[in-house]
Amino acid sequence: MAEKKVTELFGKSAAETYDERFSKTRAIKDNLHLLIRLILDGLPSQASILCVGVGTGDDIIGLADAFPAWTFTGVDPSVHMLEVCRKRLQEHSLLSRCELVHGYLDDIPEEPRFDAVLCLLVTQFVKDAAARREMFKGMSERLKPGGCLINSEISDDMDSPEFQDMAEVWKAMHRFTGASAQKAQGVIQALRDHVAVEPPSVIEGYLRESGLALPVQFFQSLLIRAWYSRKSPGADTLAGK
């Protein structure tokens, strides 16, 4: 199957139905967001947060409610996801605390000005390994010393027997969310076609190479894993420079 661009994967109809489609597995996301909130609890009261691949705004909304003086920058290449995001932020009266940028990480100035960078379920769509490595480096570079990167992605060893077993549960999850039997049957092939699924050790390697010495995996729900990594408080130079 031909590889789809992310802007096709997250086109108008995908964006408008995104929240509804995943509402049945909302508990997974809620768990992830609860833990993120606890991990970031010690940030300054006026913290500035970058959300890479902000999607429809979930990355921002819970944190903004919990930490009323934090401000957010969300960047996303899908104009349709951003449109839904903007609408939701408006509904939550959060727009004045947020800047939304249509584009990629490169469109955010390469300065260490964020207390935290969130990149949730995004990097797996960057299939080229060199580009993924650059993306982790770019996120690390935009963190203040002492700041925290939180990344989640679909990560597993697709050649392992455990993966073969869990693939069946992954299909069942898609059935549960309302996918047809045929579509659910194709989800593993879709991962192979459209997503870069790499083992946790590889992701942790990218994080270390980006200058974040101690990636901590704090979350796993089936194939979705998440890490937090703190930038050394003494890191006053850009990673790798």
138 binds ligand SAM per the rule CB under 6 A? no
81 binds ligand SAM per the rule CB under 6 A? yes
Instruction: Give the Å distances, CA to CA, from 116 to 40, 52, 59, 119, 239.
Output: 8, 11, 12, 10, 15
Which of 43/119 has CB closer to ligand SAM? 119
Which of 47/54 has CB closer to ligand SAM? 54
Which one-letter DSSP state was computed for residue 120?
A: E
Which of 152/229 has CB closer to ligand SAM? 152
53 binds ligand SAM per the rule CB under 6 A? yes
Which one of residues 120, 150, 173, 235 is an interface residue with ligand SAM (CB under 6 A)? 120
Which one of residues 95, 104, 218, 221 is an interface residue with ligand SAM (CB under 6 A)? 104
Min CB(233)–ligand SAM separation in Å:
27
Q: Residue 42: how many CB atoms within 10 A of its CB?
A: 10
Q: What is the dihedral of CA 171, 129, 21, 81, to 10 degrees?
A: -170
Which of 76/204 has CB closer to ligand SAM? 76
Q: How far apart are CA 100 and CA 173, in angstroms?
A: 32
Which of 145/178 has CB closer to ligand SAM? 178
Q: Which amino acid is at 206?
A: Y
Residue given tokens 């992954």 in the structure block = 170
115 binds ligand SAM per the rule CB under 6 A? no
User: What is the spatial order of strands in the sheet that 98-102 belongs to?
Assistant: 98-102, 71-76, 48-52, 114-120, 143-154, 224-230, 216-221
> Residues interacting with ligand SAM, by CB under 6 A?
6, 10, 52-55, 58-59, 76-78, 81, 104-105, 120-122, 125-126
